[in-house]
Amino acid sequence: MNLATPAPGTNSQLFVIDPLPRLNPAKDSSVALMQAAQRAGQQIWVCTLQDLSAAERPGAPLAGHGGRVRAQPVTLAPMESSPAGWQVPEPWFLLGEPQQLPLDAFPWVWMRKDPPVDEAYLYATHLLELAERHGVRVLNRPASLRAWNEKLGALRWSHLMAPTLVSSQVDQLAAFATGHGDVVLKPLGGRAGQGVVRSHGGAPGLRALLELVTDQQRLPVMAQAFLPGVTAGDKRILLVDGEPLGAVNRKPMAGEFRSNLAVGGAPEATGLTDAERQICAALAPALQAEGLFFVGIDVIDGRLSEINVTSPTGVREVERLGGIPLADQTIERLLAS
């Protein structure tokens, strides 16, 4: 069913996301943010990466405008939380007819497309930068999305991390594993725990594994000393404009060291320790300066692991388990900024 199509106004927000039918509204943080913006009186529009373009407007040179978008307005049904999870009505969204619009028709644009950060993603950040130059606030800032690899970005604060090596050289990685014993190997472009493996300096076939994960020494990987404390959980902390608003602990399933919800980790209610608040405070100035408004950091046993800037998840779990209206607080801070 399609809705009548209004024109975007000063209370409009555009979300660049994966196609709505692919999203799981009971778990998806973008859906939570869209619902919160709608509750705040905002008109919600959606598009995909492929809907972004640059074309001349009548009377305006190509280089002088803020890009274009094929966008659709959407109305989202309310959802209630229960001990079993979020209750999703059917249908949970209604779309209006698509319109070709200037990107600068929207005061705010959320870049919430899930990884991978591939060519299509990177080109989209350049198109969104056109809108940014025309006064549109893009969340998160396109240049920072390009600059911040979610694993390498944390190296700015390597003193807060477990011992870490990034290299494509098998000899270096093997020596690191020998020196630290248990290690975790992470592909730099991975997401949701995909491709993360655990090994040991004395493991048979270690060099063959290192050749595999580095694509025969062509690509660097991140090696980190294994933190046994991960059995108690990997904490996702959500920061809005540098301030932590909520967290969820993700506990690995039996026989697994990865705690990501996408690979079977169980979410638990949690608070923040003093050490975790200190980590957040250390990161805040850089996040604010670089336009990283909505960020999720991962902390294991008091050590910083990753800084997620593309489409951080965890909002639904924080809201349901912690009773914190995190999406509403995020939109409130955005509108007040």
Q: List the structure tokens of 238.
A: 């959500």
Report in angstroms the alpha-carbon separations of 273 from 30, 238, 243, 270, 303: 27, 14, 14, 10, 12
Among candidate residues 17, 196, 253, 1, the one with its CA nearest the CA of residue 121: 17
Q: List the structure tokens of 91.
A: 């249908």
Residues across the chain: 337
- State the pairing for strand pair 108-111/164-167: unpaired
Q: Report the number of secondary-structure helices (H) and strands (E) in the chain.
A: 8, 20
Residue 94 and residue 75 in contact, taking contact as beta carbons nearer than 8 Å:
yes
Residue 218 and residue 224 in contact, taking contact as beta carbons nearer than 8 Å:
no
Residue 136 gets which letter from DSSP?
A: -
The string of DSSP letters for 149-216 reads: -TTGGGGGGGGGBSSEEEES-HHHHHHHHHHHSEEEEEETT--TTTT-EEEETT-TTHHHHHHHHTTT
As annotated, the active-site residues are: 151, 186, 236, 250, 258, 298, 306, 308
Element of type H or E holding 102: strand 99-102
